[in-house]
Amino acid sequence: MEQLVQITTRRPARAVTLTPGAVEKVRLLLASENDSSLALRMAVRPGGCSGFSYEMYFDSEVGPEDTVEDFDGVGVIVDNQSVDLLRGSTLDYQDGLMEAGFAINNPNVTRSCGCGNSFS
């Protein structure tokens, strides 16, 4: 009797996901830079009162081990050292009376500081 073997491949979870609001805001900010080679770089660096802090800036350099994601034409670059700390995170942008700005919802965070800018 022949045995059937099922092979499944799973694409690893995105390094980060952008909400539609974040995509639109990043798109507007990138347009104001007048440089089509730029993408949003997201990184995690040692520091802050809880151990790590987030960095976000525009970058045109993509290293060989960087992860690059595309969100409706908006590029996001995550370096190899940050990808596991950010995996599964969502970047959102809110523009309201009480709160405005980018917020990262990271399921890997076990503890964050009172200011909300660093985590462990």
Q: What is the pLDDT of residue 33?
A: 96
Looking at the domain covering 16-108, what would its CATH class be? mainly beta
Q: What is the pLDDT of residue 24?
A: 97
Consecutive sets of 10 residues in the chain, 120 residues long: mean pLDDT of each? Answer: 49 81 96 96 81 91 94 95 92 87 87 52
Q: What is the pLDDT of residue 3?
A: 53
Three state DSSP letters for the chain: CCCCCCCCCCCCCCCEEECHHHHHHHHHHHHHHCCCCCEEEEEEEECCCCCEEEEEEEECCCCCCCEEEEECCEEEEECCCCHHHHCCEEEEEEECCCCEEEEEECCCCCCECCCCCEEC
Q: Tens digits of per-residue pLDDT, 28-63?
A: 999 999 999 999 999 998 876 667 889 999 999 999
